Amino acid sequence: MKILITGAAGQLGSTLVSFLFGAHEVIPLTRAELDITNPNRVKETILMHRPDVIIHTAAYTDVDMSEKHADTAFHINAFGTRNIAEAAELVGAKLVYISSDYVFDGMKKEPYIESDCPSPINIYGSTKLLGEKFVELYCSKHFVVRTAWLYGMGQRSFVNTIYKLARSQNEISVVTDCYGSPTYVMDLAAFITELLSKENYGIYHVVNEGVCSRFELAQAIVQEMGFDHVQVRPILSHQFEQSALRPANSALACAAIRMNGLTPLRDWRSALQAYMGNLKQSDEGGLFSGH
Ligand SMILES: NC(=O)c1ccc[n+]([C@@H]2O[C@H](COP(=O)([O-])OP(=O)(O)OC[C@H]3O[C@@H](n4cnc5c(N)ncnc54)[C@H](OP(=O)(O)O)[C@@H]3O)[C@@H](O)[C@H]2O)c1
């Protein structure tokens, strides 16, 4: 398959590139190579390559900055996605659009399933939801992959932030009243690889199995590091200043994966353990010292 990837220098984009390389013809496009907000460039590029599949990972992902720069966030996440969806339809490509748990308001007590009604409470979530609607409207062969709390090697994420803090501090304060589904980007990339050959289009929740709070996740990270001296102190969200509201519960249940006979991701604790093992090994050279 010929697979075009947008946002190829990002956390998920770069992981997908290394995952798919060799098995497929991969066209990785960074922001410098394809700015998705330019409709003519998007159309020209996709008409030139005529990919079988487009994996659209590019996004404005700073949740707090999206509150201040709402126009930019909508321009990239919603209208940039519309450009990609229209161009995908022109060449008959399958489109995998990466969306977010932040399309939900967090009021549900259980993990959200694909048929639950989205109702975002911050700008970022609204932009991702509008992106979903454009994908559904403009591209017939689409997968909307909602994922959450991503982490992986070398990029900014909650897991990597806690890892760095735990190396320099004896106490870290983390919120207890925010629940979600941490997801290892390698596991997400493996799932997307499986999805590409399918034709069961629609919305998929794709996260590592299980639910935890940010506090429980931080505790697990410190435990995996073997840093018994680091204390994770529980605090509440209102004690932690952030520009954007976060859903109190944005855990996702992967109902569509099961209903379509696809392979669910492993549980979040095993995935974290695998990642932390890799991280400890590669960080001997100070991989995260600059972040
Ligand atoms: N990270 C998470 O926890 C999380 C959770 C749920 C869903 N998601 C979704 O998953 C996808 C991948 O996230 P990620 O963590 O890999 O994000 P990331 O590391 O921030 O990567 C996003 C990439 O998109 C690029 N980009 C931004 N504006 C662009 C534009 N106008 N044209 C082309 N490229 C542009 C960025 O380039 P620059 O760096 O040069 O701006 C960056 O390389 C996103 O769609 C995100 O909304 C992420």
Mutate to test the pocket of ligand 1, among 6, 12, 147 (most ligand atoms within 8 A of CB): 12
Share of the chain above pLDDT 90, in %: 92
Q: Which of 158, 176, 179, 192 is nearest to 240 (CA)?
A: 176
229 C-alpha to ligand 1 centroid (Å): 35
| 123's tokens | 């700008």
pLDDT band at 280 (very low <50, low <70, confident <90, very high): confident
Give per-residue pLDDT as tens, 137-158. 999 999 999 999 999 998 889 9
Residue type, 116: D
| Closest residue by CA, ligand 1 atom 40 | 31
65-98 confidence digits (pLDDT tens) = 999 999 999 999 999 999 999 999 999 999 999 9
* Residue whose token pair is 């996740």: 217
Judged against a pLDDT cut of 50, whether residue 285 lies above it is answered with: no
- The single-letter DSSP state of residue 76 is I
For position 282, what pLDDT does the model report? 83
Maximum Cα–Cα distance across the chain = 57
Nearest to 129 by CA among 191, 63, 86, 77: 77
Dist. CA 29 → ligand 1 center (Å)? 12
* Site to substitute for ligand 1 among 31, 104, 129, 159, most atoms within 8 A of C-beta: 31
Q: Whose CA is nearest to atom 33 of ligand 1?
A: 31
The residues, ordered by sequence, that sit 6+ positions from 193 with a Cβ below 8 Å of its Cβ are: 19, 20
The confidence score (pLDDT) of residue 290 equals 40
Query: pLDDT class for 287, splitting at 50, 70, 90?
Result: low
The CA R_g of the chain, rounded to the nearest whole Å, is 19
d(CA 113, CA 97): 17
Render pLDDT for 12-40 as a digit per residue (tens, 0 to 9). 999 999 999 999 999 999 999 999 999 99
Q: How far apart are CA 222 and CA 220, in angstroms?
A: 6
Measured CA to CA in angstroms, residue 98 lies from 140, 146, 166, 220, 282 at distances of 16, 6, 30, 27, 28
Per-residue pLDDT, 281: 85
Residue nearest to atom 21 of ligand 1 (CA): 10
Distance in Å, CA 242 to ligand 1 centroid? 20
3 within 8 A of 52, measured Cβ to Cβ: yes
What are the angstrom distances between the C-alpha of 260 and each of 115, 145, 201, 202, 263? 15, 14, 10, 11, 9
Q: Which atom of ligand 1 is nearest to the CA of 101?
A: 6
* Strand boundaries in the chain, DSSP class E: 2-6, 25-29, 53-56, 94-100, 142-147, 150-151, 171-175, 179-180, 183-184, 202-205, 212-213, 231-235
Q: Of all residues in the chain, what percent carry a pLDDT higher than 70? A: 97
Residue ranges lining ligand 1, Cβ < 6 Å: 6-7, 9-13, 31, 34-37, 57-61, 76, 80, 98, 100, 128, 147-150, 155
Cross-strand bridge partners of residue 5: 28, 55
Which are the catalytic amino acids?
124
* Ligand 1 centroid – CA 172 distance (Å): 27
Residue 286: per-residue pLDDT:
56
Give CA separation, 137 vs 74, 120, 143, 171, 202, in Å: 17, 19, 12, 48, 12
Instruction: List the domains of the chain with CATH numbers.
Output: 2-157+182-210+251-266 (3.40.50.720)
